């Protein structure tokens, strides 16, 4: 192996290691975590969705009850 091939392999290895360290730091230090605002928005959206389905079921049951009585 020539000298420039060894340097190229080392450079590629260093780049891979740098990417690994960057991803590991994101996980360890919480850069990938959601912000509080995003968590609140997600909670509100899920709550609205659940209430919509609950009300839809209630009105459907009431409509069926009224139809058959």
> Would you state the structure tokens that stand for residue 16, as one six-digit string?
């891979």
CB 17 within 8 A of CB 10: no
Cβ–Cβ < 8 Å for 32, 26: yes
Which run of H or E residues covers position 32? none
pTM for this prediction:
0.46
Cβ-contact 31, 25 below 8 angstroms: yes
pLDDT tens digits in sequence order for the chain, 69 residues long: 555 555 656 667 778 888 888 888 777 776 666 778 888 998 999 999 999 999 999 999 999 999 998
Best CA proximity match to 31, nearest among 18, 20, 42, 22: 22
């Amino acid at each position: 192996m020539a000298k420039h091939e060894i340097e190229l392999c080392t450079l590629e290895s260093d780049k891979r290691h740098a990417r690994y360290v960057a991803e590991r730091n994101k996980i360890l230090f919480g850069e990938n975590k959601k912000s509080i605002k995003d968590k609140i928005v997600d909670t509100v959206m899920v709550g609205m969705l659940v209430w919509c389905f609950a009300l839809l079921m209630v009105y459907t049951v009431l409509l069926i009850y009224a139809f058959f009585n």
